[in-house]
Amino acid sequence: MCRCGCNQVLLECNHVGCSTSEKMRHELTAMINSGDNDKMILANFVEKYGPVVLAAPTKTGFNRVAWIMPYLVLVLGIAACVIVIRTWKRRRAPVPVIGTPQIDSSALNDYRKRVHEETEL
């Protein structure tokens, strides 16, 4: 990664006049021309600039968490969804009241008369 703060891969840094990427590219080219292998070049860059120059974390030590966590979160999310759906399915539906309330005919006639009066134009 380029160390200028752009968070781009070293060979893709497109800042005009970026002296950091130019310097790092020249170092990389010199190491490749001298015959160093990939591991040596990588170790040299990590030693000189720190582990922030790596585009991806290594698969050793605590960095394994960065590789494991996305999958772990996915599995836990799916498990949580399954638990919630099962809980919803096991809920009992409310029991409907059977029958209708009895209204005496005089009250019903009063309601009908009131409705008729209120809706007349």
Maximal C-alpha separation, the chain: 108
Nearest-angstrom CA–CA distance, 74 and 79: 9
Domain extent, residue 33, equals: 10-55
Residues 44 and 16 reside in one and the same domain? yes
The answer to whether residue 120 sits within a structural domain is no
Total residues found in the chain within this entry: 121
Look at residue 81 and tell me whether its pLDDT is greater than 90.
yes
Average pLDDT, whole number, for the chain?
83
pLDDT in tens, 39-57: 888 888 888 887 778 877 7
Domain assignment present for residue 79? The answer is: yes
Residues 4-28 have pLDDT tens digits of 777 777 777 777 777 778 788 888 8
A 10 A CB-CB count for 36 gives 15
> Burial code of 54-72, b = ≥16 C-beta within 10 A, e = fewer?
eeeeeeeeeeeeeeeeeee
- The pLDDT assigned to 121 comes to 55
Co-location of 14 and 51 in the same domain = yes
In the chain, the number of structural domains is 2
pLDDT of residue 77: 97
Question: pTM of the predicted model, to two decimals?
Answer: 0.45
